């Protein structure tokens, strides 16, 4: 593919009316992702929640979600209105690099959040010391470094649709892609689940009310983890070939998952809802004061 300068994209649907409908739907979803994540990040940053490690990580997870969607959505929506859908080789490689960089960051942040829940439940007396500000910043730096290393690997031999276009034998490269993404994701998922196994083991002797309270702090994170890793497993733990369902899972990763993350962490989290409410009240008072002036 060294002489390729432009890729022609097939698009989501071939029917123009359906594509226009999809454009409107995706535009609404993208607007919701932008407004929801911005509101969530502002509410955390402008409140005392930013001092809590769980919300400190959630703030960066929301930023990664927002950037991840922005890497794909504008181009996707533009192509829905275009008759001829193309992307240059350089832009394709850049998009690929950024996608895996941000996706890697999200995976490692989710792992950091799992460790935070483990320390909070299994080592509560040491929680403040272990999850101090410096350590939290170190974890975020490690997440960004891990995402960068992962994306650099991917830059050379991903993804399956590109391999399909290559005029050479790609079996070995396909295996490398499976190892770098599929097995890596599986290993990280297992590592991520270890804190929860320890949590379940620790709270087995707790009274029922205490168990319920402990698990309630983990439920949202576990749901987000499942939503993130299921598409990753489908896409990468398989032979190096393409399937019709790939488009559905790609749309799920870039649109549906970020929306679900917002709903999970806001509607099912009392502290987050209180922070959003207080921020809304501050904005209302600010607007009223400006009008009176």
Domain limits of the chain?
A: 13-279
CA angle 53, 59, 61 (to 5 degrees): 105
Q: Is the dihedral of CA 268, 147, 177, 254 positive or negative?
A: positive
Q: Output the CA torsion sign for 145, 229, 60, 49.
A: negative
Lowest mean pLDDT among 26-30, 117-121, 180-184, 249-253: 180-184
Check whether 158 has a pLDDT greater than 50: no
Residues 6+ apart with CB under 8 A from 127: 119, 120
Question: What pLDDT is stored for residue 113 in this prediction?
Answer: 92
pLDDT interval class at 188 (50, 70, 90):
confident
Question: Which of the four pLDDT bands, split at 50, 70 and 90, describes residue 23?
Answer: confident
Range of weakest confidence among 118-122, 239-243, 272-276, 287-291: 239-243
Residues 6+ apart with CB under 8 A from 238: 178, 182
- Residues 181/236, Cβ–Cβ less than 8 Å: yes
CATH of domain 13-279: 1.20.1070.10
Q: Residue 235, Cβ neighbours under 10 Å: how many?
A: 20
The tokens 């890697």 sit on which residue? 104
So what's the pLDDT on residue 61?
92
The answer to whether the beta carbons of residues 158 and 185 sit under 8 Å apart is no
Say what the pLDDT of residue 11 is: 56
């Amino acid at each position: 593919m060294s002489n390729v300068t432009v890729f022609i994209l097939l698009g989501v649907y071939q029917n123009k009316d359906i594509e226009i409908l999809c454009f409107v739907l995706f535009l609404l979803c993208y607007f919701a992702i932008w407004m929801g994540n911005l509101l969530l990040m502002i509410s955390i940053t402008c409140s005392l929640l930013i001092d809590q490690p769980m919300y400190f990580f959630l703030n960066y997870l929301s930023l990664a979600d927002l950037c991840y969607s922005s890497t794909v959505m504008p181009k996707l929506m533009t192509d829905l209105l275009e008759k001829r859908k193309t992307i240059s080789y350089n832009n394709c490689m850049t998009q690929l690099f950024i996608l895996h960089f941000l996706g890697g960051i999200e995976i490692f942040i989710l792992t950091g959040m799992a460790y935070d829940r483990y320390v909070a439940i299994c080592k509560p007396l040491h929680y403040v010391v272990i999850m101090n500000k410096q350590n939290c910043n170190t974890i975020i730096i490690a997440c960004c470094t891990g995402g960068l290393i992962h994306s650099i690997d991917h830059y050379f031999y991903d993804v399956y649709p590109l391999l399909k276009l290559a005029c050479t034998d790609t079996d070995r490269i396909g295996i490398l892609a499976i190892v770098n993404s599929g097995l890596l994701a599986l290993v990280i998922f297992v590592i991520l689940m270890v804190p929860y196994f320890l949590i379940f083991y620790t709270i087995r002797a707790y009274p029922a009310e205490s168990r319920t309270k402990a698990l309630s702090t983990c439920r949202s994170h576990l749901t987000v983890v499942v939503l993130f890793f299921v598409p990753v497993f489908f896409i990468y733990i398989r032979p190096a070939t393409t399937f019709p369902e790939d488009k559905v899972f790609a749309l799920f990763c870039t649109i549906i998952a970020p929306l679900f993350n917002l709903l999970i962490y806001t509607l099912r989290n009392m502290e987050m809802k209180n922070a959003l409410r207080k921020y809304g009240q501050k904005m209302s008072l600010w607007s009223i004061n400006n009008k009176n002036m």
